[in-house]
Chain A
Amino acid sequence: MNITEDVPPALTALDRPNSYIGRSVPRPNLARLTQGRGQFVSDVVLPRMAHVAFVRSPHAHARIKAIRTEAAKNAPGIVAVVTGRELAEIITPWVGVLTHLKGIKSAPQYPLAVERACWQGEAVCAVVARTRALAEDAAELVEVDYEELPAVTDPETALDPGTPVIHPELGDNLTFERKLDVGEVDKAFAEADAVVETTFRFGRHTGVCLEPRAIVADWNPGEQRLTVYQATQAPHMMQNLFAKHLSLAEHQVRVVTKDVGGSFGIKVHTYADEMATVALSKLLRRPIKFVADRLESFVTDIHARDHRVHAKIAVKGDGTITAFAIDDLTGIGPYSVYPRTSGIEANQVVNLVGAPYACPNYRAQARVVFQNKNVMCQYRAVGHPIAVAVTEALVELAAAKIGMDPLEIRRRNLIPDDAYPATSAAGLKFELLSHHASLAHLDAMMDYSGLRAEQKRLRERGIYRGIGFASFVEVTNPSAAFYGVGGAKISSQDGATLRLDAQGAVICHTGVTEQGQGTEAVMAQVVATAVGVPIERVKVVTGDTDNTPYGGGTWASRAAGIGGEAAWQAGKALRANILAVAGSILQAAPKALDIRNGVVVDADSGRERIGLDEVARIAYFRPDTLPPGFQAELMATRHYVPRTWPFAFTNGIQASYVEVDPETGFVKLLRHWCVEDCGTVINPQLVDEQVRGGIVQGLGGALFEHCVYDSRGQLLNGNMADYLVPMAAEMPDIEVAHVVSPTADSELGAKGAGEAGTAGAPGAVINAVNDALRPLGATPITETPITPECVLRALGKV
């Protein structure tokens, strides 16, 4: 374990002569994207392509009595007006359950509501026209007779006997429930010197992508083949689902994913309107485009969080944490989202509360209930921000109660760095974490004692600043344990295929996808290093189920750790294959040769022997000059899936420094720090920006972002003026550093880094705000977003 500097030290297994591992290599797609030459779905234009707009339910819950489409069908430019009942003939419904989430239940969901609309924004009718504008014009002419039904909106009463059951055939509104009781929780609380018990409320919010959801579906009746251009994180998963629900074989479906403008977990689910678009293409036998606009994105893109957690912690006078207990309740909309389910976030909360600490006693209950609001599902850092905020706020409230410094209580309880492998109370298996090294680095990096002195000085002048921390554990590199064992066709393995082209460059096809985060750069770095070529001579191809190796795509921070390792192994295989050819040309033992900077060299002396262009020329155009019986194989494929550990857990710690104006309740973010350990850092700049971007989304949830619903299930702020995404002016400088504990599960040693920022930021901010308000006698704040009103309430001013 060591601390990385600007340029991390050379890494043993990866210490190739022209290694790109650990270097901030600019991404190869930068020029294309910055010159506006990206290919996003909205750029796709096909002959005879028509556009769909959806008529969406204005009610949270309503019976559809009649849909009158005549006027719309006679509108200019109209291709078709299709109702849910008609579309149900083309495509089968789906149910978002997994077998390993015991007892989870949901109801069949259709691409367009058939009998009932169950949330405000659910599509009830599709209007297809020559242009989107004409489709929207005609959509206004569709008349739907609704009979409004009572809306279930409050999770607290969703299970009450008097509350209507949204899907009567399910018996109740309970989607999923999990209970856990480990160690001697009651004893620990009975014997505690201090107990803190409180209720946390996390506001429902969403992920706002620069590019909205977008899809072009092109059913070709001549070929009996469906080609789907889709902004998705998981092309192969979608291929499987399109095939399954249109009753096609998977080889009849091709999913093409070119550039994607951000995903964050938003684009890894089955969306009813996208399934409708695919079905419409099959029905109408022509390409159909759907690009969600911002208004419909707010009521259809998955929401997340929205948890109420009763929680308590037991501590001894010396700071030893002896127990955690939580009761989590979350409302997930009317359907569990397919195919990953909407039970995962609550499940993660149960898994992750208390996870950084060596505390053996833990009781948890999580209940997931249906409600008549937009669906909720996995968004960046699934469950982590909730579990981390609950755990870390409890830890700091307990520290305050016993008069202990917040870093000190962590030093006394974080799992020691030499105690690995270790298992958490919830049963998570940790290969190697570095909580203490991370904490020590953070302490020095932020000049903690200096900040405390500044805080004290400023308080005397009536300026209230606060410092808050959040230690965290992040789930990355999931094996089949995440979804596969539950029956979902979501691949946990991934592949890479490398080909030496005829001029000695390397073409890499990978199953992981580029969402704007820099996958292409990371893959190119790994391949260039493994094969031994300059990075300019690597071309990475992603996102095409006809051409890329089968794989899971990009989610759960898996692209670099899993896709990267597959590329590394494929690179080694291709190098061996190239050296076999070179050996036969040079009459040398392949083992005595290596490839450096695109040239075959003597491994010992580094003397240049033959360029890869020449190897390729001979292999492809003059194979007759090679020895009889020798066949060059200049293409290699390797796959990888973690086998030793079900997940590669990472860890880290964040700190937030804020100033609170006690008169207005406004919170100003001054600075933010994060030390995290994602194992091998392949590209420091990309990792740091992942962490920063993640922190910004975490800060959004902490202070700004909130899908505000009224009691009738109406979203009140579904637009970019009223829904507050975090913007640059409010963001603090964010300093990022790393501790490096590679996973031994792979040679690359890389773990994921995509969610660490989002995981820890809300907890750190909650703690910082409470630290700032503590001398004012405020009630601790345990809700997000922390609005000015929330602070004023804590201070008793409103």
Chain B
Amino acid sequence: MKPAAFAYAKARSLDHAIELLGTREGARVLAGGQSLIAALNMRLDAPPLLVDINGVSGLDRIERPDGQVEIGALVRHAQALGSQVVARDAPLIARALPHIAHPAIRNRGTVGGSIAYADPAAELPACLLALAGEVDITGPAGRRTVKADDFFLGLFETALGPGEILTAIRVPAATPQMRCGFAELARRHGDYALVGLAACARADGAGLRDSRFVFFGVGATPVRARKAEAVLDARGFDGLDEAVAALADDLHPEDDIHASGKAKRHLAGVLLRRVVREMQDPWA
């Protein structure tokens, strides 16, 4: 388990990082390295150049622009977990963070790295999608912003183009009407989820509106359960059984080493019930 030889360059600034990425085809960004280095050691990946962005200033801030929470790409999971802003204004992310791996990994792993890597069983991509967040990207052609809905394209595939760096994510700050829910089932604490659910909706009287239920660990990307969402938006909590049944159309999980696709769909239904009940009565 020794990586193939690679070149290493430490970027002094974002512009420098972009410049370095352009010097070698297949160059990769090194942030926390918690997935990348393991892949290198197992020789699943052999990039010619790693561009280390850990020295780039300004990417490790958690900020609170108007109505939004912005988390810099280099913010460590542990830093986000300890952030009052995240706890107060991005409670869904705060709920998800303790499920990410273990303290040693959370100390190094970054929010931006997790989003950019886009593991379909990871927590943060699902949260970003559930919150209808967006990501900031800087590349050779300048800056752009991509909505979460348009970011996750396929298995470990995102809207990030060659030479581009994800610099921050933004999610709407929580409001009194916002309800969020999170649950995941992992065989051991800290493992990637067997099935997980990140959910966000607007409370409207006794019902939910604009709900976004995002399952992870059930497909190539985080998956919105659009039919179940529609049922819940239309019928409220009375439609729970129907929403669970609708998951049969929304989710098509495949068998993996930990569970069959059938079992995963069953578990998705269990999580949907639990999360909806929690959103119905967040103080229960």
Contact = CB atoms under 8 A, between A and B. Distances in A.
Interface stretch (B168-176, B185-193, B209-217, B218-226): B185-193
Nearest to A791: B263
A665 B185 CA distance: 10
Given A724-B191, A729-B190, A137 B270 contact: no
B3 to A, nearest CB: 8
Contacts of B191: 721, 724
B150 to A, nearest CB: 29
Contact of B263 (A140, A295, A788): A788
B270 A663 contact: yes
- Of A294, A721, A792, most buried by chain B (CB within 10 Å of CB) is A792
A787 interface: yes
B246 interface: no
Interface string A658-684: 000001111000000000000000000
A788 B1 contact: no
Given A729-B189, A788-B187, A716 B257 contact: yes
B42 A792 contact: no
A798 B263 contact: yes
Interface string A378-409: 00000000000000000000000000000000
A797 B191 CA distance: 24
Contact of A295 (B1, B188, B190, B262): B1
B1 A704 contact: no
- Of A295, A664, A792, most buried by chain B (CB within 10 Å of CB) is A664
Contact of B185 (A137, A717, A788): A788
For chain B, the bracket of interface size reads 20 to 34
Contacts of A717: 257
Contacts, number: 63
A721 B192 contact: yes
Given A132-B2, A798-B266, A724 B188 contact: yes
B57 interface: no
Contacts of B192: 721
A444 interface: no
B194 A727 contact: no
Interface string A124-146: 00000001110011001000000
A133 B192 CA distance: 29
A597 interface: no
Contact of A293 (B1, B187, B259, B262): B1
B260 interface: yes
Contact of A787 (B2, B187, B188): B187
Nearest to B273: A663
Contacts of A733: none
B206 interface: no
B188 A727 contact: yes
A730 interface: yes
Contacts of A726: 188
A603 to B, nearest CB: 57
A727 B257 contact: no
A348 interface: no
A115 interface: no
B155 interface: no
A295 B42 contact: yes
A743 B194 CA distance: 49
A719 B187 contact: no
A708 B255 CA distance: 13
B188 A719 contact: no
B273 to A, nearest CB: 8
Nearest to B1: A293
A792 B265 CA distance: 12
A797 B244 CA distance: 14
A147 interface: no
B262 A708 contact: no
B43 interface: yes
B189 A719 contact: no
Contacts of A724: 187-188, 191
Contacts of A729: 188-190
B12 interface: no
A546 interface: no
A478 B25 CA distance: 62
Nearest to A76: B5
Interface in A696-754: 704, 708, 716-717, 719, 721-722, 724, 726-727, 729-730
B13 to A, nearest CB: 31
B253 to A, nearest CB: 12
A719 B42 contact: yes
A789 interface: yes
B159 interface: no
Contacts of B185: 664, 666, 788
A704 B4 CA distance: 32
Contacts of A730: 188-189
Nearest to A785: B187
Given A136-B2, A294-B1, A704-B187, A722 B266 contact: no
A798 B268 CA distance: 13
Contact of A137 (B4, B190, B258, B262): B4
A293 B43 CA distance: 13
Contact of A664 (B1, B5, B190, B267): B267
Contacts of A716: 257
Nearest to A53: B2
A788 B194 contact: yes
A719 B192 CA distance: 14
A798 B262 contact: yes
Contacts of B5: 133, 137
A145 to B, nearest CB: 21
Contact of A136 (B43, B257, B262): B43
Contacts of B263: 665, 788-789, 792, 798
Nearest to B274: A663
A797 B42 contact: no
Interface in A762-798: 787-789, 792, 797-798
Nearest to B3: A133
Interface in B236-280: 257-260, 262-263, 266-267, 270
B168 to A, nearest CB: 28
Nearest to A797: B266
B187 A708 contact: no
Interface in B36-84: 42-43
Contact of A798 (B43, B187, B260): B260
Nearest to B46: A140
B189 A727 contact: yes
A664 B270 contact: yes
Contacts of B258: 787, 789
A551 B5 CA distance: 45
B156 to A, nearest CB: 15
A133 B1 CA distance: 8
B41 to A, nearest CB: 8
Interface string A213-230: 000000000000000000
Nearest to A666: B185
Contacts of A664: 185, 267, 270
A716 B255 CA distance: 12
Nearest to A292: B1
Contact of B266 (A131, A704, A787, A792): A792
A295 B260 CA distance: 25
B183 to A, nearest CB: 10
B2 A789 contact: no
B2 A133 contact: yes
Interface of B: 1-5, 42-43, 185, 187-192, 194, 257-260, 262-263, 266-267, 270
Given A140-B4, A295-B1, A789-B259, 14 more contacts: A131-B2, A132-B2, A136-B2, A136-B43, A293-B1, A295-B42, A726-B188, A727-B188, A727-B190, A729-B188, A787-B258, A788-B259, A789-B258, A789-B260
16 contacts: A133-B3, A133-B5, A293-B1, A295-B1, A665-B263, A704-B187, A716-B257, A721-B191, A722-B257, A727-B188, A729-B188, A729-B189, A730-B189, A787-B258, A787-B259, A798-B266
In the A-B complex, list the 7 residue pairs whose CB atoms are closest, starting with the nearest: A133-B2, A293-B1, A729-B189, A789-B263, A798-B263, A663-B270, A717-B257
